[in-house]
Each structure stands twice: as structure tokens, then as C-alpha cells.
Amino acid sequence: MMCQKLKLVIRFLLTMHLISESISLVELKNIKCESLDEEFSTFDYCYLKSVNRSYKYFSLRVKLLKLPVTNAKVNGALYQRLNGYKPFLYNITVDACKFFKNQKSNPIASYFYDAFKGYSNLNHSCPYNHDLVLDKLTAESLNHHFTKILPFPQAEYMVHMNWIAYNINRAVFKIYFALT
């Protein structure tokens, strides 16, 4: 377990160095939200809005129907598009209740969470007893985070997330974006 974690951290640091030269721009392509258990949670909304070419954002709201939620995990995997989407570098599962108690416990999760924390109300530990909201996360803020701090190779990507409560996968969230 520890060994796996260490490997991930080393890979993360290596990647950071290897590809830190290219500067690219994030273009949001699409988002998809799917509830796998409508008695547990539903999406009030989930959309990508294009105001104009340069100003796009996405928002979503998850209604939690079995409150309070005291056990939650998030599995996130990054895919790169080649011939279809192939797993790329990261696939991590984070115990959300533990992570939000101590964000330093998981530097990789912390890195990804930092990208959207200013736009969400996820920022506390369990129990969750309210709707979960992500409000107007812009390409620009993702740009700042992912290309100035950690540039990836130019390509199309997808982040696939499973939202797991009490060890059952309740919802799937996918965000598609390109680095150009």
C-alpha cells in the first residue's frame, strides 16, 4: 500500500520535470454526469457553458438524498486520447473523509483538488449534509493550474471520476478537455 503510494509520488514528480517545458492552453470540451443510484443522489444540473470562444465554464449540483453522508471515496483516473481514450499516468482513489481532515496526507489528490477548490463547497470533512456544488469553474483557472504549474503533453484528455459512498459507486463524472 505505502509502496504503491510512493511510486505514484515519484512518477508524479518525474512527470512534472519531464514535461515542464511546453506551455499549452486548456480547452474545455464536454462534461458528463451520471447518477448510478437515483435513490442516493441525483444531478440537479451539470453543464458546460460557452459564453464565447475564450470564456467557458462548467457547473454542477449534486443532490444528496440520504443525509448525512459519513463515508465517501473518490476514484479519479486520467485518460489520454490516442485511438480512443487510454489510461494515462494517474488512477487514484482517495478517502474523502480522511483527505479533508488532512490534505497534506495525499499530495497528488491535493494537487488536483487545488484546481477547483475555490469553486466548490466540498472543502470540509465528513459528514456531508448538503448538496454538492461546483460553480463556474473556468478554463482559465484550470489553465493557470495545469499549464503554468504542471504542463502535460498537448493532446485530448478525459478525467473519469467515480463517486463512491459506503463502498458503492453512486455517480460517474467525466470531464473532457484538450491541451492545445
Residues that bind ligand NAG (CB under 6 A): 51-52, 54-55, 75, 77, 87, 91, 93, 123-124
Dihedral Cα 66, 111, 121, 165, nearest 10 deg:
0
- Continuous H helices in the chain: 2-18, 96-101, 107-116, 139-143
Nearer to ligand NAG, 52 or 167 (CB): 52
Measured CA to CA, the distance from residue 152 to residue 78 in angstroms comes to 11
Rank residues 30 and 91 by Cβ distance to ligand NAG and give the closer one: 91
- When the beta carbons of 75 and 147 are compared against ligand NAG, the nearer one is 75
Smallest distance from ligand NAG to CB 82, Å: 14
Output the smallest distance, CB 13 to ligand NAG, in A.
21
- Could you give the CA distance from residue 130 to residue 32 in angstroms, rounded to a whole number? 22
Please, what is the minimum distance in Å from the beta carbon of residue 21 to ligand NAG? 27
Q: Which is nearer to ligand NAG, 54 or 180 (CB)?
A: 54
Cross-strand pairs, 176: 30, 158
For 60, the 3-state DSSP assignment is strand
Sign of CA dihedral 93, 98, 101, 103: negative
> Based on CB atoms, which residue is closest to ligand NAG, 17 or 167?
167
The C-alpha atoms of residue 24 and residue 127 are separated, in whole angstroms, by 38
Smallest distance from ligand NAG to CB 88, Å: 9
Nearest approach, Cβ of residue 146 and ligand NAG (Å): 19
